[in-house]
Amino acid sequence: MQELLSKAERLLSSTPPKMDEERLGIFINSCLRHKDIFLDLARRHGSPLYALDEKRLRSKAVLFRRAFSQAIGNVDIFYAMKSNNMPDVARILVEADFGLDVSSGLELQQAITVGAQRIIFSGPGKTDAELSAALDHAERVTVLLDSFGELARLDQLAGKRKEKIQAGVRLTTNPNGLWRKFGIPLESLHEFFSQARKSSFIDLCGLQFHTSWNLTPGAHTDFLKQLGKKLCELPLDLQRCIRFIDMGGGYWPVQGEWLRAKGTPNGQLMDLLAPETIDSMARHCLESTPIEVFAQAIARTIKSEFPKDLNCRFYCEPGRWICHEAMHLLMTVVDVKAPDLVITDAGTNAVGWERFEHDYFPIINLTQPGIKENPCHVLGSLCTPHDVWGFSYHGSAIRPDDLLLIPTQGAYTYSLRQNFIKPLPRIAYLPAEVVLEWAVE
């Protein structure tokens, strides 16, 4: 118990990194420069609104591909649809020569509909119907097998149809806790290949792993070192079977992770001990690593740790890094109940989770513009007290019918939206001249 109390004391005394206010100001001003475009978009399409930035989406695709192609060379990029499954997002990225990473039969059908020619089907617990759907499109789908049981079921289904399909196997990166849900242990790799070789219809030719929420490349490089050691131990005939290694996603966007006090480790503890002491307007930023540095660190590890004669391509599955900056939320003030309490026409069913109690994003009043930050509970119109957008806004004042912008809501919002109480926002495209600037780019 004393050890736990000492850990709690150290945590409470730690100081999370504060948001760089100058950089935040640059970002907010870049939003305000385009206020008339956002206002016109809402006039034409209504409120609330998802504002999709196609130009930004395409530019992020180019930047990601360039970083990994220059560092590694033989790389293929697959967009992780779960991060934003808006059909137009998938279509745009397919046009940018991305493949698609799908995690369900539903996403697989969406990928086929938008014309994807290269699809990897990942995720645990695939049903027979989903595996059969993959076999329906075996010419363009690679199934990433999650278990020995899934291997056996796919073999049986493929055998009945006499249909050959390409496959890989997912490796678990953490054999403890909830992450053990995914894949097989690394030490079972040889056995898995031996089992797959008994099938006449499964071409097991790749490996996949995934780590998540990565501000630095450490999780990637740590597992690549373990994988390199295991590959060096495999017989040469098995090494030659491997034509691709999929390194997953989890790359954090360039702006870093923006948090409220409640989203930091010491803030979580304070929320349990003395919630009334938490500063609702405090904001913090955990810095992320530029994608070029990510790619270079991964490339160095592959070069130093992998068998020298391993001849394979490398896959990446970016999601959040690609779409985070490419969609914004617009909403209108419906009711000003007090100078520090307003209700908007958008409910957080538009993002699907109580994101803004822990994550920080600026709320910008486009109708009454200003850089000044004003304390204010900005809440949605759902019948729940956790319908929270934020605890302040940037502007000169706030009144009914004002249009508010919450920028960079492209990742894990649209995919998680819920048909709950209020209608979901419409979708509109931003004109190409809109450029939101974050100072570290």
Contact 208, 285 (CB under 8 A): no
Contact 340, 376 (CB under 8 A): yes
93 and 199 co-located in one domain: yes
Range of 402's domain?
2-52+324-429
Residue 71's CATH number: 3.20.20.10
> Which helix (H) or strand (E) covers residue 101, if one does?
strand 99-102
Using the 3D structure, point to which of 321, 336, 369 is the last residue of a domain: 321
pLDDT given at position 302: 96
158 and 295 co-located in one domain: yes
pLDDT given at position 11: 65
pLDDT given at position 149: 97
Residue 330, CA distances (Å) to 25, 344, 381, 423, 426 in order: 20, 10, 14, 14, 10
* Domain count along the chain: 2
Task: Kindly state the tokens that stand for 358.
Answer: 């822990």
Residue range 157-215, pLDDT digits in tens: 999 999 999 999 999 998 888 889 999 999 999 999 999 999 999 999 999 999 999 99
Q: Please name the amino acid found at residue 312.
A: C
Q: pTM value?
A: 0.95
Nearest to 430 by CA among 343, 333, 341, 329: 329
Question: Is residue 6 one of the residues assigned to a domain?
Answer: yes
Question: Is residue 436 one of the residues assigned to a domain?
Answer: no
Count the neighbouring beta carbons within 10 Å of the beta carbon of residue 35: 16
Task: Kindly state the tokens that stand for 262.
Answer: 């409640």
Residue range 391-428, pLDDT digits in tens: 999 999 999 999 999 999 999 999 999 999 999 999 99
208 and 94 co-located in one domain: yes
Distance between CA 292 and CA 380 in Å, rounded? 39
pLDDT given at position 8: 65
Residue range 76-99, pLDDT digits in tens: 999 999 999 999 999 999 999 999
Nearest to 29 by CA among 403, 395, 409: 395
Question: Is residue 278 one of the residues assigned to a domain?
Answer: no
pLDDT given at position 441: 45
8 and 81 co-located in one domain: no
Using the 3D structure, point to which of 321, 339, 370 is the last residue of a domain: 321
> What does the radius of gyration of the chain's CA atoms come to, in whole angstroms?
24
pLDDT given at position 440: 42
Which residues in the chain land under pLDDT 70?
5, 8-9, 11-12, 438-441
Report the percent of the chain where pLDDT is more than 90: 85
175 and 135 co-located in one domain: yes
